[in-house]
Amino acid sequence: MIKRGFAYIGIFFLLLLSLFPFWLLYLISDLLFVILYYLIGYRRKVVQENLANSFPEKTAQERKQIEIKYFRYMADLMLETIKSVSMSRKQVKRRMVCTNPEIVAHYFSQGKSILAAAGHYCNWEMACLDFGFLTDHIKMIVYKPQSSEIFTDFFNRTRSRFGAIMISMRQTLRKLIEYKNELSITVLAADQTPSRDEALYFTDFLNQPTAVFIGVEKLSSIRDCAVVFYRIDLVKRGYYTYTLVPLVDNPKETKPFEITKVQVTYLEEQIKEKPEYWLWSHRRWKIKPSDVAKPVFFN
């Protein structure tokens, strides 16, 4: 009961803070960066270890620059995520623009639904909002439930307020089958960390063996969906574009793990271009192949 009370108080302050204008939120973000990075050192060791393992070819100074840029952007991302709670339709459309919406019409004209693999790169929360404007057909976003049911429900209502349907990871197949006779586009995170029980498949990603989900591959084969990558890019502070990059048109014609490798490789290439916009403070490599009884490797 006490936890629920604190959760509702937290949501109240999020709603209040979301009403601040962007210029004020960015002043707060500048201060938040100093607090997170210099005063409390939030997950700095995790970020440093991840960067060192991912970019051994870079000098310590180069990795330090990425680290600082990452924390600056993370502060922005936190405040932008809060702002997304109350952003208007006009604000979303101005700050998150799809560069090629015709891709959706292209596949739908062929009678193909779409599965879009995305990464925790740039502002995926604001992208969820604009995703609702992409098409009049069914739009689904797959999410991983948080530990707090109250916050999960709160953010799902935020993400879905412009037309997207939020579905839990465990309900994905059931929902895709439910809408099998209707055209749809579904977004899944391609860089989620599997639980220890689900960590069966490993591939090389950012210079280290990495446990991955093969959900996009399995689901696209079952529904014969086209596979695209949901690429988000930062244009300038607070303004983004996203592009639907075609990866695989006919999943049933692919070899085992081919789709998964293609999507992982694309995300890896984007991260290498501008690494400061990926989620480095996440313990992405906490599960090792040695932790799994019979790991399956593919390249």
- pLDDT tens, position by position, 50-94: 999 999 999 999 999 999 999 999 999 999 999 999 999 999 999
What's the pLDDT at 10? Answer: 85
Q: Which of 195, 186, 183 is nearest to 218 (CA)?
A: 186
pLDDT at 197 exceeding the cut of 90: no
Average of per-residue pLDDT across 217-223: 92
What's the pLDDT at 1? Answer: 65
What's the pLDDT at 49? Answer: 97
pTM given for the model: 0.93
b (16+ CB within 10 A) / e for 92-121: beebbebeeeebbebbbeeebbbbbbbbbb
**Residues 2-60: pLDDT tens digits?**
677 777 788 899 999 999 999 999 999 999 999 999 999 999 999 999 999 999 999 99
Average of per-residue pLDDT across 184-190: 94
CA dihedral 266, 217, 187, 171 (to 10 degrees): -150
**Residues 223-243: pLDDT tens digits?**
999 999 999 999 999 999 999
Q: How far apart are CA 216 and CA 230, in angstroms?
A: 13
Q: Is 199 left (phi over 0), alpha (psi -120 to 50) or beta?
A: beta
Angle between helices 215-223 and 258-273 (to 10 degrees): 130
Residue with tokens 């953010």: 155
Q: How far apart are CA 211 and CA 218, in angstroms?
A: 16
Q: Which amino acid is at 61?
A: Q
Confirm if 113 and 184 have CB atoms less than 8 A apart.
yes
Q: What percent of the chain has pLDDT over 90?
A: 83
What's the pLDDT at 82? Answer: 96
CB count, 10 Å around CB of 242? 25
What's the pLDDT at 2? Answer: 66
Average of per-residue pLDDT across 203-230: 95
CB count, 10 Å around CB of 236? 6
Q: How far apart are CA 260 and CA 210, in angstroms?
A: 12
Confirm if 100 and 69 have CB atoms less than 8 A apart.
no
pLDDT at 195 exceeding the cut of 90: no
pLDDT-derived band at 107, boundaries 50, 70, 90: very high
- 144 or 106, greater pLDDT: 106
**Residues 250-283: pLDDT tens digits?**
999 999 999 999 999 999 999 999 999 999 999 9
- 299 or 84, greater pLDDT: 84
pLDDT-derived band at 209, boundaries 50, 70, 90: very high
Q: Which residues contact 174 (CB under 8 A, 6 or more apart)?
A: none
Confirm if 145 and 168 have CB atoms less than 8 A apart.
yes
Q: How far apart are CA 29 and CA 123, in angstroms?
A: 15
pLDDT at 99 exceeding the cut of 70: yes
Concatenated DSSP letters of 117-172: EE-SBS-HHHHHHHHTTS-SSEEEEEEPPPS-HHHHHHHHHHHTTTS-EEEEGGGH
What's the pLDDT at 108? Answer: 97
Maximal CA-CA distance, the chain: 55
pLDDT at 124 exceeding the cut of 80: yes
